[in-house]
Structures are given as C-alpha cells and as structure tokens.
Amino acid sequence: MNSTSTMLPDSVETKNRIELEDLSIFYGDFMAVEGVNLQVRPQSVMSFIGPSGCGKSTVLRSIDRMHEVTPGAHIRGRVLLDGEDIYAPNVDPVLVRRMIGMVFQRPNPFPTMSIYENVVAGMKLERSGRSKKSHFDEVVERSLRGANLWEEVKDRLNRPGAGLSGGQQQRLCIARAIAVQPEVLLMDEPCSALDPISTLAIEDLIHELKNQYTIIIVTHNMQQAARVSDETAFFNLSGVGQPGQLIEVGPTTEIFSNPKNQQTEDYISGRFG
Amino acid sequence: MALRSNVHEPIAMGDDPLRLTGQRLPRWAPLASVVAGVVIGLAVQITGITVVGLAPAVMAVLAFLVIYTTWTLAVEGRRHAVDRLATALIYSAATLALVPLVWILITVVVQGISVLSPQFLFVDTMRNVNPRAAGGGVAHAVLGTVQQVGIATLISVPVGLLTAIYLSEYGRGRLARSINFFVDVMTGIPSIVAGMFIYTFWILTLGFPQSGFAAALALTILMIPVVVRSAEEMLRIVPNELREGALALGIPKYRVILKVVLPTAISGIITGVMLAIARVTGETAPLLLTTFLAQDVNWNAFDGSQASLPTFIWDQIARGTQSSLDRAWAGALALILIVLTFYATARILASRYAPKER
C-alpha cells in the first residue's frame, strides 16, 4: 500500500487516483447503479450531482467499501485505488477505509468522546496503545487546524464533541477523517444540514484540502458543485425502479456552460422532470 | 412603535372579528376542584349517602372530574374542557398507579422497622432461635441472597450481553430468528418452572446437591432473557451513523462495537441489568426447589442448603406467631433496601456513563 509514496513524480501526473471500471452496484437483486466508468485525478475535486435516488451516494459509498455494510449489498465491476482493485479477494476493507476517508451527510461525532478523543478516534481505535500521547497532541492540532476548527475549540478540547454547533460538528468530523491521513476524502452531502456560513467554511476548507487530498463530493447544490469542484459527474435514472447511470462527466466549467448531453442541460438549467 | 400598539388588538375579519383572547379559568381552579372533590368524598364517608354503592374515594375522584370539566366547559368552551378532562384523567391515573406502591412501602417500613437493626441484618441468624419466639436475624439470608444473585449475575450478564450484541450487530437469518424466538419464550417461563428444571436436571439427573449455586442457575434462566432484551433494545437505538462513521475511519468492526457502540449504550444497559437483578432478587419459588431453607450461615454456595431473604420471609410467615411475622416484615424491609441499593447504584452508574452534551 506504500507504492504511492515511492512512485516517481512523473508517473503520478498521469495516473488516476480513483478509477471505476464498469461498476454496477446492487442491493440484493436490485441493481441500483449500472455500468459506471469514471476516473478521478489526484489532488482534484470531483462533484457528483443528480436527482435524488440516482445513485450518487451509492457510488460514493462503494469507493471505500462502505456500501457492503448494508446487508445484501454487493458490486460488479472494479474500483481501483492507484491502480489496485480494492474489491480483490484478499483486500481487507478495513485497510481500504484507512486510505479513503468519508464525511457523512449528518455530522456524527461519537457522543461518548471529547473533541480531542473524537479527532484521534481513528488512530486510537485502529490498534490499541501504539502511539504516544505527545504524538496525539500533534495530530489533534494539525487535524483541527486542517479543518479550520482549531481556533474555536482549542480551549475546550476535553469537552464533549456533541456540544458543538452543527457546522462545528461537521468540521470535527472532517478533522477526524483527515487525522488518519487518508489519500482520498469522500463527502456525502457534507453541507446539507448546515447554514450558509458553515457551508462557506466547509467549501473554503475543501479548497485547502485539495492540495493534499483527492476529494469526491456528493451535492444537491449545483452552485456548490460549480464553486468547489474541478470536475463534475452527472448521474440520472431513466425511471422509477431503473438503475442510476452516469450520464456525463467532464470539467466543471464545461458541464455547467456547455454540457454535451441534453439530460445534463435540462438538469442544470432547472428544466428537469 | 406606532405599529406595536396594534399587536394586542383583535384582528378584524369582515364583520366577525377574530378573537385571540378568551375567558380563562383562574390559576387556582384545578386545586379548588380537587378540594371540592375531597370535601364531597368526606361527606360521603360521614353521611354514608352515595351513588350506586361507590366508595368515598371513588366518589371524590368522580366529583373532582365532573366539577372541573363542567366548570371549564362553562367558562372556556368545549375544546378546553376536553383538554382539561384528559389532563385530569392522566394525572389521576398516575396517582392511582402510585397508591399501591407507596402503600406497600409505608406498610413494610412501619411493620418492619421495629425489628430491623444492623445486628438483625448482618450478625444474627436463626441458629438456636426458637422460630416461634422473638429474637434472631437475617444475616444468613442476606449472605445467601447476595451469593445467589451475585453468581446468577456473573453468569447471565456476560451471556446476555454477548447474545444482545450478536442479535443487534451480527445476527441475520435463521440463527438470529431462532435465538430471538427462544429469548421470547424464555421471557415467559414461570419462575417455578425454571426451579423445577434445575431441580430435575442439575440435582436429580446430574446428582449435584441442593445448593446456593443450583438456586443461582435457576435465577440465571430467569435473568438471561431480561438482560438480552434490555441490552438489545439499547444497542438498537444507537444511531447507525455512529457505526458507519467509525467503520469509515478504518476501525475494525469489533473495536467499533467495543469502543463506540457499547459506550454509547452503556448507561441504558446498566439500568437494564440492574432491573433484571432487582427482579430475580425477590424470586422465591425456584429457590425453595433448588436450595430450600436454612437457619444458619452457609458460606459454601456449592454445597448444602442456603438461606435467602425471600425464602426466609416465606418460612417466617408460615410459622404464624407475632414474633415470626415481625421477622418476616423486617426481612421484607431488608429485601426492599437491597433492591433499592441496586437501583440507586444503577442510576448513579447510568448517569455517570451517559453521553454528555456539555
């Protein structure tokens, strides 16, 4: 799994961080998403847009193998992280999730833990008693600074994480996700439960995080997709009970100004359905 | 400012002004209605005049409900009358539910307090005491109860908790369904049947002696389903987002359960376990079959009859003298004190481990 850090710089340029190859996703017998092909470059932001139920979140969850947590859920096709199939038989999903972090729609700080413990939860719980206290202090400060939350909480790190406001809780969850230093950060509508100010804070954060991480964000807010992402993927479904499909993917400016597909144009111009 | 002065004016709607204010009962109205009801109840008690033979207390409640509701109907209108009637019924029902509870507590304390003392509780036994005369104590029974319930807890909490974790975190398909079914069936087992089972299986078939441990096994049968059900309920209300959030950090599932799910649910689980303990502490029938009675201390829970508070009470009542009845009441008081101690401990532990907001 260390192959990325030792890779030659010029090969990083050309390689895709995430590749979906003919990915179909199932809940039991029901096919929720059909035949997605998609590449995400390192250190870029890709947004998934599309109507409710078109499978954006399902695709996102399949990228860090969170999809299979749902009973009966499975996939067909391949998901590659730096060229390696994360669904290969001998791959441990726990290790995949350490390299690919995830931020959820609703902020979910662990209610029994303090702000401090929430941030180090990933490192502390993955293996017990390995890291030192001083190392943790460093990680907590770095992660909270990274999530633009440090100044607000530095004097109350031992207070419960559940006592923060919604926007702060979401940034705490981002800090928690980046504390384990993943390569990819998946965000499932991270701002849908937040007010405009907190949303702005998180969008600013996405701009900064882009320098270190590859980010995929699901959003219902097309302005947000236009503001934060380099590339945009539009998903749609042809009818109720039909699988969702990837309709179009391309540079965000192109998708929003000059979409190639009629469905995309209808959706982004609000003439949908 | 000019606009504000209009706020409390009625808003005109055509010819019929919509009124936001209306006549309200004075704040002392509920209290006054209760007093009126009590007065009528007392009058029924004194004069003996009543309707269709209803008791004074029932008459008092009915009179209160009628006075309160008609008064509201006359002053505030129908909707408020229904509201206040429902409120009054709810409060009356809550009070009614408390009456036997408080009554029992008061009776046990009044009857038991004269004999109860630290000496009675922790030193004296019934050894060499004439069971029909005064004297003696429950030390042997307290020891037996603590040992039997302690062993039962040690067995049933791990088994019950692990079963609950299986059902809520892992269980799918036929195995989970059948475990669920058997837990439901076990919940309904009468305690004497649990006692009979241990008696025939453990004592008659396997040939072990009557002992406190046999009693503990019978209590375990009663305790496991209660622990499973309460712990499972608590685990199921832990939001799935927390499990997913933890899994998404690359935390292995067993550590997610140990470090995130269990701590979130622990305060409810503790309460459930303590209630299960409290429930089996008062069981009598299974103990009579598995360990019977003893008049002296038996430290060895694994051999020979052992006393316990419920069987002590049963034994003393059967003796039928005033001294033995006094001892039975004091034993009952001791039993309630033990259960209350469990319960208070549960509350303290539960609030200590409860997830906090600030």
Is the same domain home to B40 and B174?
A: no
Q: Which CATH superfamily is domain A3-268 in?
A: P-loop containing nucleotide triphosphate hydrolases (3.40.50.300)
Q: How many domains does chain B have?
A: 2
> Between these two residues, B286 and A238, which has the higher pLDDT value?
B286
Asked whether residue B206 falls in the same domain as residue B266, the answer is yes
Distance from CA of A262 to the nearest CA of B (A): 36
Q: Is B108 within the bounds of a domain?
A: no
Report in angstroms the alpha-carbon separations of B80 from B33, B76, B85, B182, B214: 16, 6, 8, 49, 60
Tell me: do B202 and B86 sit in the same domain: no
Q: What is the mean pLDDT of residues B166-191?
A: 92
Question: What does the mean pLDDT of chain A come to?
Answer: 87
| pLDDT tens by residue, A132-161 | 677 889 899 989 988 889 999 999 999 998
Task: Test A112 with B264 for CB contact under 8 angstroms.
Answer: yes
pLDDT value, residue B146: 93
* Nearest CB partner across the interface for A97, out of B248, B259, B358: B248
For chain B, list residues whose CB is within 8 angstroms of any CB belonging to chain A: 172, 239, 241-252, 255-256, 259-260, 263-264, 353, 355-358
With a threshold of 0.80, does the pTM exceed it?
A: yes
Asked if residue B28 and residue B133 are part of one domain, the reply reads no
pLDDT in tens, A43-92: 999 999 999 888 899 999 999 999 988 888 999 999 999 989 999 999 99
Q: Is B296 inside a domain boundary?
A: yes
Residue range B281-297: mean pLDDT, rounded: 90
Query: Nearest-CA distance from A171 to chain B in Å?
Result: 14
Say if residue B246's pLDDT is above 50: yes
Q: Are residues B46 and B177 in the same domain?
A: no
Please, are residues B30 and B91 in contact by the beta-carbon 8 Å criterion? no
**B302 assigned to some structural domain:** yes
Q: Side-chain half-sphere of B339: how many Cα atoms within 13 Å?
A: 18
pLDDT at B269 over 80: yes
Mean pLDDT of B3-7: 49
What was the pLDDT predicted at B13? 47
A167 vs B236: CA distance, rounded Å: 27
| Residue B3 domain flag | no
B177 and B296 belong to one structural domain: yes
Show me where the domains of chain A are located: 3-268
Where is the domain boundary, B69, B102, B135? B102
Closest residue in B to A95 (Cα) is: B250
Q: Is the pLDDT of residue B175 over 90?
A: yes
Question: Is B53 among the domain residues?
Answer: yes
Q: Cβ–Cβ of A94/B250 closer than 8 Å?
A: yes
Question: Could you report the per-residue pLDDT of B305-326, keeping only the tens digit for each?
Answer: 899 999 999 999 999 899 999 9
Residues B149, B60: Cα–Cα separation, whole Å: 44
Q: Which residues of chain A are within 8 Å of residue B268 when distances are taken between CB atoms? A: none
Claim to verify: residue B42 and residue B135 sit in the same structural domain = no
Tell whether B347 and B272 lie within a shared domain. yes
Asked if the structure places residue B111 within a domain, the reply is no
For chains A and B, CB pairs below 8 A equal: 85
- Residues in A touching B263 (Cβ below 8 Å): 112
Contacting residues for A221 by C-beta, under 8 A, at least 6 apart = A191, A192
Cross-chain residue pair B251–A95, CB shorter than 8 Å: no
The interface pTM score, or ipTM, of the predicted complex is 0.86
Please, what's the largest Cα pairwise distance for chain A? 56
Provide the domain limits for residue B311.
122-353
* Domain co-membership, B206 together with B73: no
- Compute the distance between CA of residue A257 and CA of residue B352 in angstroms, rounded to an integer: 57
CA distance A254 to chain B (A): 33
| Domain identity same for B90 and B221 | no
Interface contact A112-B255, CB threshold 8 A:
no
Verify that B306 and B340 share a domain, yes or no: yes
Residues in A closer than 8 angstroms to B353, CB to CB, are 112
